[in-house]
A and B are shown apart, each in its own frame.
Chain A
Amino acid sequence: GQNIDQPTEMTATEGAIVQINCTYQTSGFNGLFWYQQHAGEAPTFLSYNVLDGLEEKGRFSSFLSRSKGYSYLLLKELQMKDSASYLCAVRAEYRGATNKLIFGTGTLLAVQP
């Protein structure tokens, strides 16, 4: 079966750092994505990891460990606008030429003043 787990909700303070974890158990692996979704809006792409290690993009970083089936999204210098749902998604196919992604149910992050 395909399983992606992430915390349902998290709360953090403006200006702080928050780490959102994602663990996955899938039949195959060919990349992990993080998306941000504000209420009532479309998901927007944040990051992509296919090799182990850290990918940094401004205030956002994403880490992947394929041997542990684990990823995290790190958000620094939190702003109120970062309050949103964060979705972890895995391309669980050995053949890379597909956009079929398995999504977790998302982590709802609330940033407080």
Chain B
Amino acid sequence: KAGVTQTPRYLIKTRGQQVTLSCSPISGHRSVSWYQQTPGQGLQFLFEYFSETQRNKGNFPGRFSGRQFSNSRSEMNVSTLELGDSALYLCASSLHAGGGGELFFGEGSRLTVL
């Protein structure tokens, strides 16, 4: 069974640019959530999607957006990049939203903003 696939794995952008990250969840999983991981802040919740609907959003500026497609694949977009957006962006998929279901994380997309 294939795991969570995130692309690209590494990318370098400059301030002011925008970036789109992609996440393909485990087959059959309908819940996708996104987290930002930085050394100082740890993992911070960005958003959560279930059946193409955003169910929850974290405390990030409007420059961060996302969406989920009918095949459960998800994308997140960051516009007008800032140096502080440099981080590992992790996508997690789950069969259900909530309960004791574990989140299966992808390897992440490491973004460097210069």
Contact = CB atoms under 8 A, between A and B. Distances in A.
Interface string B54-67: 01101000000000
Given A96-B98, A100-B33, A45 B45 contact: no
8 contacts: A30-B98, A43-B43, A43-B105, A87-B43, A91-B98, A99-B31, A103-B35, A105-B42
B103 A104 contact: no
A100 B106 contact: no
A100 B105 contact: no
A98 B90 contact: no
A33 B43 CA distance: 13
Given A98-B56, A98-B98, 18 more contacts: A33-B102, A33-B103, A42-B90, A42-B105, A43-B43, A43-B90, A43-B103, A45-B103, A48-B100, A48-B102, A93-B56, A96-B99, A99-B31, A99-B92, A100-B45, A101-B45, A103-B35, A105-B40
A72 B45 CA distance: 22
Interface of A: 30-31, 33, 35, 41-45, 48, 50, 87, 89, 91, 93, 95-106
A88 to B, nearest CB: 10
A105 B41 contact: yes
B7 to A, nearest CB: 14
Interface of B: 4, 31, 33, 35, 40-45, 48, 55-56, 58, 90, 92, 94, 96-108
B103 A97 contact: no
The 3 A-B residue pairs with the shortest CB-CB distance, nearest first, are A45-B102, A105-B42, A97-B98
A103 B107 contact: no
Contacts of A35: 105
Contact of A99 (B43, B44, B103, B107): B103
A35 B105 CA distance: 10
Contact of A98 (B42, B97, B105): B97
B42 A101 contact: no
B52 to A, nearest CB: 15
